[in-house]
Amino acid sequence: MPKRPVKSPRKRPAAQPLSSMFQDAFSPDAGVGWRLGRLVAQCHPGQAVLDGVQGPFSLPELVAAGQCTAQLNPQVHAQMSTLWTRANGLVTGPVNAVYDVTWQGHALRVVVAEYRVGYDRQKHSLVVADTLDVARAFATAGNVFCNAPGNAVLRFSGGCWSRSPEMWEQVQAASFDDLVLAGDLKKNIQEDFSAFLAARAEYERYGIPHKRGVLFTGPPGNGKTHCLRAVMKFLGVPCLYVMSLRDKYSTEESLIDMVFERAREVAPCCLVFEDLDAMIHDKNRSYFLNQLDGLAGLSGVLTLATTNHPERLDPAIVDRPSRFDRKYHFALPAPHERQAYLALWNTRVDAALRVVPADVERLTDATDGFSFAYLKELWVSSMMRWVAHRTPGGMAAEMFGQVHALRSQMVTELARVPPPARPPREDEA
């Protein structure tokens, strides 16, 4: 009987080098960050490389504030991006560059890179130092410094935070002295916030979270935004302003989480949601309320929100005291407030544009139903028309003519406003 052939043992494939595991696992675009870190490590043998430094860390900000010095490494071509703004002119910043940095007597190297992954742009920073402890200390100090807003308002939009010196300047220009409100509203707001700030030690003594939610309500144009800025200036703490909770790459829940997480990091601070009814709806309400209730701790966070339509907000937001425990209504100005506002403007314009006290009283009667915003528009539009005609003593005539034009505009705008949503009946629930 013939013998069966003996099979030779199957050879195992050669083991793949461990160093190429991640490189082969990722696509060319997705692996850019990994390859960059490997190359930086190869170029700095014997030194520590802290890869993927994230957070608010910004080398240009640290240099501008004198926290460190940095020079472009002449051996590497630096790719820069130049942006023009009306306020600052041409501003140049790094896109891909290598910096030689001196910080607290240590010589470091910082590599910054930016590249596209799909439709998104990724930013990558690496720190090279003699020891990992030094690299980590520098990155930590940089993040702590850049995390503080400084002379800017932290603005949240498009799923990320940015500093807005312009908004900070608007806040600094606001004043309660320029604000005319009904009755004792201005006094009550000032006293309320003063008492809250002074009671921080008492809150901590009794184990009560030092937080508060304040809601400004009322029709548009009656001082909510001006009062909001005046409060932000009065508080004297960092301000975080939420412009939008929408981004095509993130869920609204993750954006809400980012907002409150940053507020906890910066606290004590004030967190502002203007036009809250446009941001919070059925799908994200529960997550927003969980964050507002402080499950992760909101001590030191003062939440300020405004709405022109409180009826569009869920009762779970408006009526529960632990969420917005203070509510202030900004109604249309009564005759006394209208006269005070018109008289205030009358004292601040050029003498040639002023009207006599009797005309201020007549204008007060003629502007019934005007908001403060429309009263301001009355002055501004009348001054523009007066400059065009330069009629001596004609400012009063221009203002009375503009009263009728603005009232027609008010009627048109009111006709465009959709009625508030009707709450469901019991049989529809």
Determine the Cα–Cα distance for residues 257 and 264; give it in Å rounded to an integer: 11
Residue 54 makes CB contacts below 8 A (sequence gap 6+) with 125
For 187, phi and psi rounded to 5 degrees?
-65, -45
CA-wise closest residue to 322 among 209, 178, 401, 154: 209
- Say if residues 382 and 403 touch (Cβ distance below 8 Å): no
Other beta carbons within 10 Å of 181:
23
Q: Average pLDDT for residues 137-147, to the nearest whole number?
A: 91
Task: Tell me the pLDDT band of 130, cut-offs 50, 70 and 90.
Answer: very high
Q: What is the pLDDT of residue 37?
A: 87
Determine the Cα–Cα distance for residues 96 and 113; give it in Å rounded to an integer: 4
Q: What is the pLDDT of residue 193?
A: 86
Q: For residue 9, is the peptide bond before it cis, meaning its omega torsion is within 30 degrees of 0?
A: no
Q: What is the pLDDT of residue 399?
A: 94
Q: What is the pLDDT of residue 69?
A: 96
> Which alpha helices (H) appear in 92-205, and where do they start and end?
132-147, 165-173, 185-198, 200-205
Check whether 201 has a pLDDT greater than 70.
Answer: yes
Tell me, rounded to whole angstroms, the distance of Cα 34 from its chain centroid: 32
Task: Tell me the pLDDT band of 423, cut-offs 50, 70 and 90.
Answer: very low
Digit-coded pLDDT (tens) for 256-314? 999 999 999 888 899 999 999 999 998 999 889 888 886 557 888 899 999 999 888 88
- What six digits make up the tokens of 417? 């406003």
Digit-coded pLDDT (tens) for 53-91? 887 888 888 998 899 999 999 998 888 888 887 767 888
Task: Tell me the pLDDT band of 215, cut-offs 50, 70 and 90.
Answer: very high
Other beta carbons within 10 Å of 166:
13
- Say if residues 391 and 366 touch (Cβ distance below 8 Å): no
Q: What is the pLDDT of residue 426?
A: 38
Average pLDDT of the chain, as a whole number: 85
Q: What is the pLDDT of residue 323?
A: 82
Determine the Cα–Cα distance for residues 424 and 429; give it in Å rounded to an integer: 6
Q: Average pLDDT for residues 214-236, to the nearest whole number?
A: 91
Check whether 408 has a pLDDT greater than 50.
Answer: yes
**Each residue of 311-341: b (16+ CB within 10 Å) or e?**
eebbeebbeeeebbebebebbbbeeebbbeb
Task: Tell me the pLDDT band of 4, cut-offs 50, 70 and 90.
Answer: low
Q: Average pLDDT for residues 391-413, to the nearest whole number?
A: 85
Domains of the chain: 20-147 (no CATH), 164-329 (3.40.50.300), 335-413 (1.10.8)
